[in-house]
Amino acid sequence: MKTIGLLGGMSWESSVLYEELINTEVRERVGGAASADLFIRSYNFADIEALQSAGEWEQCAELLVADAKKLEHAGAGVLAICSDTMHRVAPAIEEALSIPLVHVCDAIAVGVKEAGLSSVGLLGTRFTMEEGFYRDRLADAGVAVVVPPEEEQKMVHKVIYDELVQGVLSRSSHEDFLDVIDRLGSGGAEGVIAGCAEVELLVSEDDVFIPYFASTELHCRQIVDAALAGA
């Protein structure tokens, strides 16, 4: 089993979910007392959020690239970013490393195609919904992405940063998210991507009427695939 390097703490709630899912997946596949071999770089999310809000993506890239190199030099054989939004700087990390970066969009594309779908809605931060780094990678893999209208994007983004990353799970926000998903489905989306680990804390597969693709779950399966490859 290869050592997995995780760039996390964006937020720590999402990183806890990543660690739980990865370790559970390893135990189920390997058996016995097996768990994942992990290196974790967990950030103070307040620092990351400030850079995001200021549009300092180059500085974000420099920070994550430097730490990704440290994880590789420490012995990581596989790397993953525990944040959908921070995949905006994934190309810089992929270019800097000689070990594979398991990309969340590639994992999602596998899940959507296995379900026989080609067009899905997306909920995530406004960076993930608005910008091309996420949607274009999925499009290149043959998955068309539909996003909510601008006002609904703002609401989703606000709930993620003002509530979910601070550990607040609100019934009203839960209902608002379900309304957005209902409208995406009624508008033709065949399924919906929870494109942010924190969204998965608020909305589960059992809550929705269309296929639900939890990005963190799909990502963790692919991470474990890469760690166990050749074992």
Angle subtended at Cα 85 by Cα 80 and Cα 88, rounded to the nearest 5 degrees: 80
Pairwise CA distance, residues 193 & 44, whole Å: 26
Common-topology check for domains 4-103+218-228 and 105-215: yes
Going from N- to C-terminal start, the domains of the chain cover 4-103+218-228, 105-215
Neighbouring CB atoms inside 10 A of 146's CB total: 17
pLDDT of residue 231: 67
Could you report the per-residue pLDDT of 28-81, keeping only the tens digit for each? Answer: 999 999 999 999 999 999 999 999 999 999 999 999 999 999 999 999 999 999
Q: In terms of pTM, does the model score above 0.95?
A: no
Q: Which CATH fold would you assign to the domain 105-215?
A: Rossmann fold (3.40.50)
Q: What is the CATH number of domain 4-103+218-228?
A: 3.40.50.1860
In angstroms, the CA 88 to CA 83 distance is 10
Q: Which pLDDT does position 88 carry in this prediction?
A: 96
Percent of the residues in the chain that have a pLDDT greater than 70, as a whole number:
100
pLDDT at 230 (0 to 100): 75
